[in-house]
Amino acid sequence: MRRLLTSVPRVRLLYLLDSVLRPLAVEAREFLEVGLERLDGGEAKRFRIRSGVAGRQGKLRHLERLCVTATGLGPKRLFDHLLLVFLTFKALAFDMPLDSAAEQAGLSRKDLDRLRRRILGLDADAASLEPRAQFEYAVIALTKVCKAPPEAAGEIVQQVVRERLA
C-alpha cells in the first residue's frame, strides 16, 4: 500500500507530460519511466543508464541514438531534465521542500544544485525563488529539448496550479 501511495506523484506527472514525451521513441519513454520508478521507489540511490536498459550494450547504443536523434541529448541528460521536472513537481503539487524531494530520490543538496545549474543554466537562480517558478522553468527546459510546442509547458503548469488550488 505504501509503495502505491508513493507512486502517485510519479504516475500523475507522467500523465501530465504525455504530450511532451509522446513524440519520443517507445524505448526512450520506457527508459525514462523506469528511471523515475527506481529513484522514486527508493530502489537505487543512483540510477545508472545501464540499469534502465538491463545492461545490454546493443540496447544502450540504440537508446543513445534514439535520444540524440529526438532531442540532441543522450539518455542521461534527457533523464536529468525529467528528474528536475519530477522533483519540482513534488515540491509544488505536494507542498514539499525541494531539498526533501531530492533527498527522497537519493540526491544531496549539492547534487540538486548541480542538476539545477546543468539544466537551467543562468535561470537557476531565478527559478529558485518559489516552487511554481522552479517547476515552470524545469518544464520549459524539458519541452524545449523534446521539441514540444512552447504552449505545452504553459498548459502543464496551469493544470498543476489549478489542481493544487482545487
What's CA 38's distance to the chain center, in Å?
A: 13
The reported pLDDT for the residue numbered 49 is 59
The reported pLDDT for the residue numbered 109 is 92
- C-alpha to C-alpha distance for 157 and 82, rounded to whole angstroms: 15
The reported pLDDT for the residue numbered 120 is 93
pLDDT tens, per residue, the chain with 166 residues: 444 444 578 889 999 999 999 999 999 999 999 888 888 765 545 555 555 555 455 588 888 999 999 999 999 999 999 999 999 999 998 888 999 999 988 899 999 999 999 999 988 888 788 889 999 999 999 999 999 998 999 999 999 988 887 6
Nearest to 95, CA basis, from 151, 18, 164, 22? 164
Can you say whether residue 95 is alpha, beta or left, with left for phi > 0 and alpha for psi between -120 and 50 degrees? Answer: left
Grid cell locating 73: 541529448
The reported pLDDT for the residue numbered 1 is 45
For 17, 56, 64, 111, the CA distances from 86, given in Å and listed in that order, are 10, 27, 22, 15
Helix-, strand-, coil-residue percentages of the chain, each rounded to 5 = 75, 0, 25
The reported pLDDT for the residue numbered 10 is 87
